[in-house]
Amino acid sequence: MKSSVDNNVLELPGNLKADLGTTIENIGNSFLKQGQALERLSQLYDEDSYRDAIRIALNTTGHMIVIGMGKSGHVARKISATLASTGTPSFFLHPAEASHGDLGMVTPGSTLLLISYSGETQEIVQLLPSLKAFGNKIIAITGAKSSTLGRAADVVLEIPISEEVCPNNLVPTTSIVVTIAIGDALAISLMTLRDFHAKDFARYHPGGSLGRRLLKKVGEVMLSSSVPTVDPSMVLLELAAEMAGGPAGVAVVLDENECPVGVVTKGQLGVALRVTRRVREVAAHQCMSKDFSVIRDDVIVDEAENMMRADEVKFLVVVNKDGKFVGLYKHDDL
């Protein structure tokens, strides 16, 4: 029996109804149009302007000061944060506060990155005479090269969109997406030219899971005392007892020098117990796997994660500089 409920109709207050089918279609169109705007940017951007902007940024001895108002202000904060975290000293300056004394933050070695889609944002335009008098280089991100901001800038990075995805062509939407892309492209270009690597990135990201991945070493987060270690001659019955209830899910087989020579997972143990009744005779070395991934305890976690992805394994056997077993690294150790 067909349901009388239409899942595409949403009842709203005031006896109004919304067509969710059309709404979902509009969502898809929004993604499509914004993607097309980014594709258009990749085809139309002025290479010479980006070269000039990068030269200015690399020659900046102070900070990249990013300024924007309203929605562009939020984007400016994001771009500034991305620059700062990837090796380009930067901070956000609110244009309204700048005109009331915060222009004192602008030092002779600073470069200004001004963001205004129209190029006529009042709070930014009124700063231009002072900024020009200071003599600082100005990079503008704007949709109007001939605007007041565009004419005052040393370099213009244009926002080449025909319209916003907003049905009224009013709300900053597509222009915001493209502006963020321009800021990211600038930051990544500078990051590459400065030879900025993961170890450098880690210096500015000590907190959270990212900081742990980039700063902590495998030895700091590995499982150690809870990992069963067994002799190659240990029989299945004893091996099962050693592995029972352990959180590691794997036993590491060690030689007389405490170096790993094999591993036995719970799955491998289960298969061995099912195919033989000789649980007091079959030894660990007869059911262990000799194919396992090994990593040093002084390697950073990020390298361990990359190794696990490359080897397509769920754990790494950890050894010290002498090759002796010290622990087990798993994804959930963090």
| Domain CATH for 269 | 3.10.580.10
Flag whether 259 is in a domain.
yes
Flag whether 122 is in a domain.
yes
Flag whether 13 is in a domain.
no
Same domain, 45 and 188: yes
Enumerate the H helices of the chain as residue ranges.
20-44, 47-58, 71-85, 95-98, 122-125, 128-134, 148-152, 174-193, 198-203, 208-215, 218-221, 236-243, 266-275, 284-287, 301-311
Tokens, residue 28: 């898809």
Flag whether 41 is in a domain.
yes
Distance CA 180, CA 183 (A): 5
Same domain, 183 and 280: no
Same domain, 270 and 192: no
Please give the residue range of the domain that contains residue 323: 218-333
pLDDT score, position 2: 45
* CA 216 to each of CA 197, 284, 298, 303, 307: distance values in angstroms, whole numbers, following the listed order: 16, 33, 9, 11, 16
Tally of structural domains, the chain: 2
Flag whether 1 is in a domain.
no
User: Is the per-residue pLDDT at 319 higher than 70?
Assistant: yes
Average pLDDT over residues 224-239: 88
Is residue 209 classed exposed, middle or buried when 0-12, 13-18 and 19+ CB atoms within 10 A define those classes?
A: exposed
- Give every strand in the sheet of 294-296, ordered side by side: 294-296, 315-319, 325-330
Distance CA 151, CA 7 (A): 53
Same domain, 185 and 273: no
Flag whether 168 is in a domain.
yes
Q: Which residues face 113 on adjacent strands?
A: 66, 139
Rg of the chain (C-alpha set)? 30
Same domain, 122 and 228: no
Q: What is the pTM of this model?
A: 0.69
Q: Cβ atoms within 10 A of the Cβ of 277, count? A: 9
Flag whether 326 is in a domain.
yes
pLDDT digits 0-9 by tens, 248-301 = 689 999 999 999 999 998 888 888 888 787 888 888 888 888 999 999 999 988
Same domain, 184 and 259: no
Closest CA to 72 of 52, 99, 95, 48: 95
Flag whether 154 is in a domain.
yes
Picking from 29-33, 154-158, 234-238, which range would have the lowest pLDDT averaged per residue?
234-238
